[in-house]
Amino acid sequence: MTGTEIPRGTSRELPSEPPSTRPRPGGRRRTTPSRPEGADPVVDCAVYVDGRRQALVDPREALREAVAQGGFVWLGLYAPTEEELGTIAEHYRLHPLAVEDAVYAHQRPKLERYDDALFMVLTTARYVAHDRLTATSEVVDTGEVMVFIGPHYVITVRHGEHGGLTDLRRSLEEQPDLLCLGPAAVLYAVADHVVDTFIDVAGRVEEDVDELEAAVFGPERTDDIGRLYQLKRELVALRRAVSPLEVPLQRLAERRIDPVPDAMRSYFRDVEDHAIRVRDQVAALDELLTSILQASLARTTQADNEDMRKISAWAGIIAVPTAIAGIYGMNFQYMPELEWRFGYPLVLLVIVTACVLLYCGFKRNGWL
């Protein structure tokens, strides 16, 4: 038995409660579905034979039809609950651990094999547009897509407000030669779509980095520490989505894994190359942000030093009239030129001359 066809009159024993209701290490809870309450978790369900979509079938009969016609079924789900995915898992004989991961979400990108089936987790990313980057701007929004593939089925489970696969399905249906390669072709298309999205997000983030770099080294004095730190945090989220994906793609590209035909390995190798390029781009952006942050801190320190020098210079200039006025304010009986008619103008002239000389000296030394 292949693990996909379920003969009539037989059933597979499952745990008394859905596998996803078991407690997770650390008390992790299941992600709350983001779809509207009461909405159907099934986004689309179709049987493909020889790379072409067949007439609409009931999702409950799709697997049986796919096995009978020698094709495969592609079932798309959006944020299913434990009960909803548990019912599907019983019908398709999905491994309980994989089902649990698909319900809880918040998984690290990975590839796992269960008997003759594969389970892959991919983190999706979306660039959040904004007029101006601030210290609290959300730049990268992440979600998840889980893919179950077996000899006659592929099930995609999506979490998050983005990363829809409807357009991808339509595009793939226009390539029957690729769909003829079976469920692995869908896995390749999903992975390629996710990595292409990473490339777009990384390009948009690079524009933000360039804008911050111009602001830091521009003629105007700005405080960009908060914006730099926030963008660096957002870049970490993108790195966490991209970096772990290299190992699963490498396995698919270099190892013989059922149910991935050998003809698909070159496709996954291409996706792996793109993922490595994005990984290097994200790493370079992170290093550049670190350098810009250090430069911004150094420039802020330099500006503070310049301010302190200016304050010190003006304090030195003001100290001259303050000292002279303080001496003459002591009310001594015998003071220089106290009884002279031009004594007061002379003292003022001395004050002005001393202040001018100090100002010229500080100006020549770059303190003012």
Does residue 227 share a domain with residue 152? yes
3-state SS class at 366: coil
Q: Which two tokens stand for residue 167?
A: 């357009």
Of 300, 328, 348, the residue that ends a domain is 300
Residue 14 included in any domain: no
CA angle centred on 300, ends 294 and 304, rounded to 5°: 145
Q: How many CA atoms lie within 13 A of 53 on its CB side?
A: 15
Query: What's the rounded Cα separation, in Å, for the pair 106 and 113?
Result: 19
Domain housing 201:
19-300
- At 341 the pLDDT is 67
Q: Flag whether 155 is in a domain.
A: yes
Between the two ends of the chain, the Cα-to-Cα distance in Å is 87
The residue assigned the tokens 């892959």 is: 120
- Look at the chain and report how many structural domains it folds into: 2
What is the reported pLDDT for 23? 41
pLDDT, residue 346, reads 72
Whether 47 contacts 57, CB under 8 Å: yes
Predicted TM-score (pTM) of the model is 0.75
156 within some domain: yes
pLDDT at 337: 62
208 within some domain: yes
Domain boundary residue, one of 274, 300, 326:
300
Count Cβ atoms within 10 A of the Cβ of residue 14 and give its class: 0-12 exposed, 13-18 middle, 19 or more buried.
Answer: middle
CATH code (residue 40): 3.30.460.20
**Integer Cα distance of 167 and 169 in angstroms:** 5
Orientation angle between helical segments 96-104 and 82-92, nearest 10 degrees: 150
Residue 159 lies in a domain: yes
Considering the domain architecture, whether residues 292 and 344 belong to the same structural domain is answered as no
Q: Is residue 294 domain-shared with residue 312, that is, in the same domain?
A: no
DSSP structure class, residue 24: P
Q: What is the number of other CB atoms lying within 10 angstroms of the CB of residue 62?
A: 23
How much is the pLDDT for 22? 40
Are 124 and 273 members of one domain? yes
Residue 74: the pLDDT is 94
Tell me, what's the pLDDT at 24?
A: 40
164 within some domain = yes
> Domain check: are 137 and 284 in the same one?
yes
Write down the pLDDT at residue 12.
34
Task: Kindly state whether residues 143 and 259 are assigned to the same domain.
Answer: yes
CA dihedral 49, 50, 53, 55 (to 10 degrees): -50
Alpha-carbon 197 to chain mean position: 11
Tell which residue, 128, 159, 129, 157, has the closest CA to residue 141. 128
Same-domain status, 278 and 354: no
For residue 196, being part of any structural domain is answered with: yes
Beta bridge partners of 356: none
Residues 28 and 118 in one domain: yes
The β-bridge partners of 72 are: 48
Q: What is the mean pLDDT of each run of 10 residues along the chain (368 residues)?
A: 35 36 39 61 92 84 91 93 90 92 88 92 93 89 94 92 85 93 94 95 94 85 84 92 93 88 93 95 93 84 76 82 73 63 73 82 77
Compute the distance between CA of residue 160 and CA of residue 197 in angstroms, rounded to an integer. 15
Of 198, 191, 218, 178, which Cα lies nearest the Cα of 280? 198
Instruction: Enumerate the H helices of the chain as residue ranges.
Output: 59-69, 82-92, 96-104, 166-173, 176-179, 183-216, 225-242, 246-254, 265-328, 343-364
Boundary-marking domain end, from 279, 300, 321: 300
CA–CA distance, 347 with 353 (Å, rounded to integer):
10
- The answer to whether residues 89 and 114 touch, using CB atoms and an 8 Å cutoff, is no
Quote the pLDDT of residue 15: 36
Same-domain check for residues 221 and 313 = no
Are 338 and 223 contained in the same domain? no
Task: Give pLDDT, residue 4.
Answer: 36
CATH number of residue 360's parent domain: 1.20.58
Tokens of 261: 């035909």
221 and 360 both lie in a single domain = no
Tokens of 281: 């781009």
Task: Indicate whether 13 belongs to any domain.
Answer: no
Name the token pair of 365. Answer: 């030394």
Pairing relationship of beta strands 153-159 and 52-53 according to DSSP bridges: unpaired
Residues 254 and 167 in one domain: yes
